[in-house]
Amino acid sequence: MTQPYPSFSNLLADLADGSKTSEHLVQECLDAIGARDPQLGAFLEVWPEEALAQARSIDIKRREGKALGPLAGVPIALKDNIHLSGKRTTCASKMLASFSAPFDATVVKHLKNAGAILLGKTNLDEFAMGSSTEHSAFQLTRNPHDPSRVPGGSSGGSAAAVAADMAPLSLGSSTGGSIRQPAAFCGVVGMKPTYGRVSRYGLVAFGSSLDQIGPMAKDVSGAAHLLQAISGHDSADATSAKLPVPNLIEAIKTFPARPKIGLPREFFDSGLDPEIRKCMDVLLTALEHYGAELKEVSLPASAYAIPAYYLLATAEASSNLARFDGARYGFRAKNPVDIQAMYTQSRSQGFGMEVKRRIMLGTYCLSSGYYEGYYLQAQKVRTQLIQEYQAAFAQVDVLLSPTTPYVAFPIGSKTNDPMDMYLSDIFTVTANLVGIPAISLPCGKNSANLPIGVQLLANHFQEAQLVSMAALCESLIA
Amino acid sequence: MTLDVETVRHYAKLANLAFSDAELGTLATQLGSVLQHVEKISELDLGTVLPTAQVHQAYAELRKDRIAPSLGSELALSNAPDKESYHFLVPKVIKVKSP
């Protein structure tokens, strides 16, 4: 895979000093999309004319010495569950195939203010429910490293777009690992911020106590710049945190001295793929030489994270997706005999099978007689996990683990067994349950030349510490 | 954990979803297999542990009650499958009593 810009900071410097124009950069992305996307299927929609016009206008402003935003002239791809006013937000579902966003998501407002150029919308698993992007109602997305394999999911389009140089940056969303897992599978950087760090206003809701929007980029610098631009309190999102945003761009310039790194025993058990284990060991040895202190920690409730996650996420999804009833927006079935038929037929014809499966599971575990045993128990497991992570962070600065238990799998190999697919989130779901920030960055490749990702996790709102640590790991891996 | 087809049909009705008989059969197997896995959480004795609904704040953050412009009826209706003037149109809800 070519990497025209080893560092996103260099790309910004080139744009700033005029050695590269934004128009040139956008044209490079469009050329890459033209050459590779017919095969890869990362984009659902691209806006070449608007992006080029916006780039030219930024170039003129720059030449005239006018003030520009921190991401001026940088093209960005958006996952198609984030609203951009006047453009379609499909969630890769027949349900929203012709839905036009009536307003900008807060993150989109931030991107516009930062001068970023919105390049297009990327494919996802329908309503972000999946780990392979195979559940899109519209198209398959293929892994740029091996087109017979999945890019991961649900932000598979956003990961593939960055990996194949079709966009230097993209936004994804994560409910249980939907940014980090595709980032690992596609060999890019993906970060889930702390719950509350980034506004979800204008993100189509899936699991409201878990969802976060986050950056995807070729390197830690790109992810840090993008997260910096989209973070901050928003009165339109009641879960948005009223806390100052740390300077992430400064944070990546300084590596932590003698960091304490926790290795969760449960994430390094004997079942781990030996090639992934080897990549982790190489990095851990380099970290020890750097002066890091490695410490084994235990997070026993991790064994219950996947069950708790699939109970909470599906319960919340069944409730969130009740709004899609064919009445006010979205797909409506033809000629229903009465209003009940309109609800049932619109939902049955508009949703794909994986979405319906999750709504069914959520409805079941919220129903009378099962609520305490399932939903409430899962919320208690969540408390237990939070306590165990807090105890770990009292001893170490960050936690380190593989991002995924295996590399990108062949297309079609897990679609018949939902439980098998769900287990691919095993190392990522806890960060969403606990609400902490986590990042995945490339950590080498296996013998088949497929990318392997390493995951770092920090305590709530410690994004600065996390990107600093990630930048250190990136430098050691390079 | 196994689910029978009638149970799946009952929950489909609650969720406003309809499935063919073949789909109901597949769902019974697949949901049963997922439930078997999630059942694992009942092993934990978490009697005194409080449930977590929201990870970083114990109270709801409310904005100031100030009047501000909202979406507007034209935009709010712009994605409606069926509409008439400033209303969403849906099939008739009220049944006419037969004479």
Please check the confidence at residue A137 and state whether its pLDDT lies above 70: yes
Side-chain half-sphere CA neighbours of A339 within 13 A = 10
Among partner residues A235, A374, A382, which is closest to B63 by beta-carbon distance? A235
Q: Average pLDDT of B52-73? A: 81
Among partner residues A209, A339, A373, which is closest to B93 by beta-carbon distance? A339
Q: What is the mean pLDDT of chain A?
A: 96
Confidence at residue B54, expressed as pLDDT on a 0 to 100 scale: 81
Whether A85 has its CB under 8 Å from any CB of chain B: the answer is: no
Q: Between residues 414 and 433 of chain A, which touch chain B (CB distance below 8 Å)?
A: 417-419, 422
Query: What's the farthest any 2 CA atoms get from each other in chain B?
Result: 61
**CA–CA separation, A399 and A427 (whole Å):** 12
Give B-chain residues touching A331 at CB under 8 angstroms.
81
Q: Where are the domains of chain A?
A: 8-256+458-477
What is the pTM (predicted TM-score) of this model? 0.97
* Fold of the CATH domain A8-256+458-477: Amidase signature (AS) enzymes (3.90.1300)
Give the three-class secondary structure for A293. Answer: strand
Pairing of strands B87-88, B83-84: antiparallel
Nearest to A318 by CA among A357, A363, A364, A354: A363
Q: Tell me the backbone φ, ψ of residue A398, rounded to 5 degrees.
A: -140, 165
Q: Tell me what ipTM this predicted complex has.
A: 0.94
* Tens-digit pLDDT profile for residues A1-55: 334 445 899 999 999 999 999 999 999 999 999 999 999 999 999 999 999 999 9
* Tens-digit pLDDT profile for residues A258-284: 999 999 999 998 678 999 999 999 999
Among partner residues A304, A356, A386, which is closest to B52 by beta-carbon distance? A386
**CA–CA separation, A449 and A187 (whole Å):** 11
As a 3-state breakdown, chain A gives helix, strand, coil percent values, each rounded to 5, of: 45, 15, 40
* Tens-digit pLDDT profile for residues A149-169: 999 999 999 999 999 999 999
Q: Average pLDDT of A129-136? A: 97
Confidence at residue B53, expressed as pLDDT on a 0 to 100 scale: 86
Residue of B nearest to A418 (CA): B30
CA distance A184 to chain B (A): 25
CB contact under 8 A, A422 and B81: no
